[in-house]
Amino acid sequence: SNIAGFAIGIAALVTLVMAARGWEACTSGPLRTIGADMVFIYSAPISATPGTGCYLAMHLFTYPFSTSIVNDLAKVPGVERVTPILLHRMRAITFCGIDPSETKTNAILPEDVIEGRYLNPDDRGVALVDSKYALQCELKVGSIVTYVKNFTVVGIVQAKAMSIIQSAIYVNLPDAQETVDAKEKVNIALIRVQDPRKVKTISEAIMRLWPGSTVITASDIASVTTGILNIGEQTAWNISIALAAVAILFGFKSQLSALVERTREIGLLKAVGWSKQDIMRLIIIESLIQGLIGGLLGSAIDYGASIYVPSSIGGEFGGALQFVNVDPILLAIGVSIA
């Protein structure tokens, strides 16, 4: 019973922290894969002049704003980099203008190219196309793709940005501005901060400086995509510490009960010449062995469940469980606590 108690307690402890860490990585992934910490948009017109609404993630519509705002955003304390994006949607096609000189934070990055080449800053009249769109429209490097104007395909890309700013066609920003008649305008700014721990503070400061703007962060994505699973790692650690304390108290209680039950056995050991130190040493060794076995079993249960359950369920439900990450350090901590 002692071993089972240790195993269950450690499995619960390790699973909780792994789930919290994995979920945090999962929800922040769409932004981190493009080198951003937040997305700045205007989800309503900022002037009486009609703007062009463009579809973005989470059913928001974005409206154009001056590129001068991008320069001002870069001056906000704590902001490391700001990358302008012009995203436009017509029928079922999403068209994106980027600055290819921004190779660390962008809607599409050089490492996303799977065929052909990336855009050059001085390119005009050429485009990158998403691999799925290329397959659907039978496009390849050298083909002509049309979005109001004709563009020559110079590269096929496989975007990692998920649905936030994923597009079918990517062109240089000046080409995009001319195509959709939005000179000196963009409708998205990707923001990278110097200290990721200050994302919330900086996002709140930005929205105060630009009333009417919206700043989307990883936590905003998480709040939309999850309910009870949206817990922080710190909260998970706090709960885990409480669980560990309960497990330790349970272990002490079990050991005390075992000592009472083994009174006759201890008496026999004393009768054959065992000293109190020898008996204490035996009990400690037994406790360590039980804790080690329980910890290993608990960690094994956690490891097996984190791999087997998502793969066996499959489909959307199985995919949703892929955020539970196996962390060897956490497994070691679990065994140590046991």
Domain residue ranges of the chain, discontinuous segments joined by +: 2-26+230-337, 44-211
Q: Phi/psi class of residue 84: alpha, beta or left (left: φ > 0; alpha: ψ in -120 to 50)?
A: beta
Q: Which of 53, 11, 9, 86 is nearest to 249 (CA)?
A: 9
Q: How far apart are CA 324 and CA 14, in angstroms?
A: 11
Q: Phi/psi class of residue 21: alpha, beta or left (left: φ > 0; alpha: ψ in -120 to 50)?
A: alpha
**Global model pTM greater than 0.85:** no
Q: Tell me whether strands 188-193 and 144-147 are parallel, antiparallel or unpaired.
A: unpaired
Q: How far apart are CA 18 and CA 31, in angstroms?
A: 21
Residue 140 is predicted with a pLDDT of 93
Residue 264 is predicted with a pLDDT of 75
pLDDT tens digits, the chain, 338 residues: what are they?
555 555 666 666 666 666 555 555 555 555 666 777 888 888 765 554 544 555 554 455 778 888 999 999 999 999 999 999 998 888 778 899 999 998 888 888 899 999 999 999 999 999 999 999 999 999 999 999 999 999 999 999 988 755 567 889 999 999 999 998 888 899 889 999 988 888 889 999 999 999 888 888 876 665 544 444 445 555 655 666 666 676 667 666 666 776 676 777 777 777 777 887 887 888 778 777 776 776 677 667 666 665 555 544 444 444 444 444 555 544 455 445 44
Residue 14 is predicted with a pLDDT of 63
Residue 225 is predicted with a pLDDT of 45
